[in-house]
């Protein structure tokens, strides 16, 4: 008989180097937290085997559905996803037990000869198939008075960097977090400022997911949750969800929490019943992939220092989306979000 409190926990993971790195890191944290062994169970997803472009096979969700099927079938106990790959609608049968502290959310440029984006020659070929990156890179090039040619590429991170190493492309753009996790962040020639390129909602964050029926494990894994990261990515994904409903243009979003939480005095006087309040700043962008039009807006709100309450981030995302749609985001139709 296997005791359900001491048997190994099964962590479902994709086989890619990035997925294995992410899962390995979380497996170690879960071992320390629970004192139980963690076995990695490799699962192949359609997104790993298909040679089609992501836009053709439906974009979001292709990497996660096989892992979710295994969770619901009870074949694995938990799964680790890149949060940015998760669809915004959370199924009731599955629970995000923890969103750990986020890595650097920025995009990174890897260019030949150590070049920065501003130093790329007119007409430089930049590898990315992401409409969000295309829109912002093309807009940035325009603001510098030149053009870049964005070239859709697929494959894992090593394959993508290979296009620059082999001289087939001048540069590629990848998530800094992915580069860090596979140990290649030193090869980035520039970290792209969110003032110029906003990352994908949730970029750099991981999500640890369980079947909703697995209440004991969910409660246990919640100790790996970082409330600040959860607040930030909740605002970003709320913005994405509301924009997805109103337009199909590519979306970038980033929320930061002010490092120093402020003290707000209550009516009882300056010292009485002071309450810590954190400032949440949310930025969003949608645009056309050619970079000719970008709608970029931001908002600031105060998040109460109650770890479980995400109503403020949710509302901030929805409200910023409504403002962006009113400012013309709704007109940026006819492009697939990815």
Query: What is the binding site for ligand PBG (CB under 6 A)?
Result: 82, 84-85, 174-175, 177-178, 203-204
Q: Which is nearer to ligand PBG, 226 or 279 (CB)?
A: 226
Q: Is 181 a catalytic residue?
A: no
To ligand PBG, the closest distance from the beta carbon of 203 in angstroms equals: 4
Element (H, E) at 178: helix 176-181
Euclidean distance between CA atoms 94 and 79, whole angstroms: 11
Q: Are 11 and 39 in contact (CB under 8 A)?
A: yes
- Strands lying side by side in the sheet with 94-98: 38-42, 9-13, 78-82, 206-211, 94-98
Q: Which two tokens stand for residue 116?
A: 């920065």
- Distance in Å, CB of 44 to ligand PBG, minimum: 16
Q: Which residues contact 6 (CB under 8 A, 6 or more apart)?
A: 36
Catalytic annotation present for 264:
no
- Evaluate whether 88 touches 233 at the Cβ level (below 8 Å): no
7 flagged as catalytic: no
Buried b (16+ CB within 10 A) or exposed e, 126-141: bbbbbbbbbbbbbbbb
Minimum distance from residue 62 beta carbon to ligand PBG (Å)? 10
* Residue 53 beta carbon to ligand PBG: minimum distance, rounded to whole angstroms: 12
Q: Which is closer to ligand PBG, CB of 46 or CB of 299?
A: 46
Q: Which of 160, 181, 220, 230 is catalytic?
A: 160
Q: What is the distance between the alpha carbons of residues 11 and 26, in angstroms, rounded to a whole number?
A: 9
Q: Residue 192 CB, nearest distance to ligand PBG (Å)? A: 12
297 alpha-carbon distance from chain centroid: 19
Nearest to 338 by CA among 123, 189, 145, 129: 129
Catalytic residue of the set 17, 36, 154, 336: 154
CB of 334 to ligand PBG, least distance (A): 22
Cβ closest to ligand PBG, residue 182 vs residue 325: 182
Report the alpha-carbon distance of residue 226 to residue 270 in Å, rounded: 30
Give CA–CA dist 2/331, Å, rounded.
58
247 annotated active-site = yes
204/287 with CB nearer ligand PBG: 204
Contact 42, 14 (CB under 8 A): yes
Residue with structure tokens 């402020």? 262
Nearer to ligand PBG, 67 or 177 (CB): 177
Is 15 part of the annotated catalytic residue set?
A: no
Q: Which of 10, 14, 68, 132 is catalytic?
A: 132
Here the tokens at position 238 are 């709320």
- How many other CB atoms are found less than 10 A from the CB of residue 93? 11
For ligand PBG, the closer CB: 178 or 317: 178
Ranked by CB distance to ligand PBG, the top (closest) residue is: 178
Specify the residue, 82 or 214, whose C-beta has the smaller distance to ligand PBG.
82
Told to judge if 154 belongs to the known catalytic residues of this protein, a careful annotator would answer yes
Concerning whether 262 is annotated as a catalytic residue, the answer is no
Catalytic residue among 36, 48, 69, 85: 85
Supply the minimum distance, in Å, between the C-beta of residue 209 and ligand PBG. 15
Taking the C-alpha atoms of residue 124 and residue 116, their distance in angstroms, rounded to an integer, is: 12
Determine which one of 14, 68, 102, 133 is catalytic. Answer: 133
Catalytic residues: 84-85, 132-133, 154, 160, 247
């Amino acid at each position: 008989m296997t005791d359900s409190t001491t048997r190994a926990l099964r962590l479902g993971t994709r086989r890619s180097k990035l997925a294995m790195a992410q899962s390995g890191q979380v497996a170690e944290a879960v071992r320390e937290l629970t004192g139980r062994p963690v076995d990695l169970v490799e699962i192949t997803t359609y997104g790993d085997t298909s040679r089609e472009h992501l836009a053709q096979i439906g974009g979001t969700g292709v990497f996660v559905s096989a892992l979710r099927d295994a969770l619901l079938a009870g074949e694995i106990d938990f799964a680790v996803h890149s949060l940015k790959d998760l669809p915004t609608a959370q199924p009731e049968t599955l629970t995000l037990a923890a969103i750990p502290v986020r890595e650097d959310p920025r995009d990174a440029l890897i260019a030949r000869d150590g070049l920065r984006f501003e130093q790329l020659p007119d007409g430089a070929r930049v590898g990315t198939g992401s409409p969000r990156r295309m829109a912002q890179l093309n807009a940035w090039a325009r603001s510098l008075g030149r053009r870049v040619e964005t070239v859709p590429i697929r494959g894992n991170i090593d394959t993508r960097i290979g296009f620059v190493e082999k001289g087939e492309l001048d540069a590629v753009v990848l998530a800094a977090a992915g580069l860090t996790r596979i140990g290649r962040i030193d090869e980035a020639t520039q970290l792209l400022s969110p003032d110029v390129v906003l990352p994908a909602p949730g970029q750099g964050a991981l999500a640890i997911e369980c079947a909703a029926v697995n209440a004991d494990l969910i409660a246990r894994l919640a100790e790996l949750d970082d409330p600040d990261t959860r607040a930030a990515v909740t605002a970003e994904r709320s913005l994405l969800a509301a924009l997805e409903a109103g337009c199909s243009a590519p979306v970038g979003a980033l929320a930061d929490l002010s490092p120093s939480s402020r003290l707000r005095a209550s009516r009882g006087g300056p010292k009485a019943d002071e309450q810590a309040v954190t400032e949440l700043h949310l930025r969003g962008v949608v645009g056309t992939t050619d970079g000719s039009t970008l709608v970029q807006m931001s908002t600031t709100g105060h998040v109460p220092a109650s770890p479980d309450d995400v109503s403020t981030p949710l509302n901030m995302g929805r409200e910023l989306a409504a403002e962006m749609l009113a400012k013309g985001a709704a007109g940026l139709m006819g492009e697939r979000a990815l």
